[in-house]
Amino acid sequence: MAKAADAFRTISEVSTELDVPKHVLRFWEQRFKQLKPLKRGGGRRFYRPEDVELIKGIKALLNRDAYTIRGVQRILKEQGVEMVKRLASGEAAPMIAAVPQAKEAAAAAPSSIGRRANGARKAGAGGEGAAPSAAVGRDVVAAAISELSACRALLVGETLRAKAPPSASAAGGRR
Q: Which of 11, 38, 41, 13 is nearest to 27 (CA)?
A: 11
Q: Tens digits of per-residue pLDDT, 87-109? A: 777 665 555 554 443 333 444 44
pTM: 0.55
Total residue count of the chain as it appears in this document: 175
Q: Tens digits of per-residue pLDDT, 37-92? A: 999 988 899 999 999 999 999 999 999 888 999 999 999 999 999 988 887 776 65
Q: Do 7 and 47 meet the contact criterion of CB atoms below 8 Å apart?
A: no
Looking at residue 101, what is its pLDDT?
Answer: 39
All structural domains of the chain with their residue ranges: 1-99, 103-165
Q: Tens digits of per-residue pLDDT, 130-162? A: 455 566 677 788 888 888 888 787 877 766 666
Mean residue pLDDT of the chain comes to 75
Q: Do 154 and 132 meet the contact criterion of CB atoms below 8 Å apart?
A: no
CA distance linking residue 147 with residue 127, whole number of Å: 29
Pick the CATH number of 1-99 from 3.30.450.20, 1.10.1660.10, 1.20.1250.20, 3.40.718.10: 1.10.1660.10
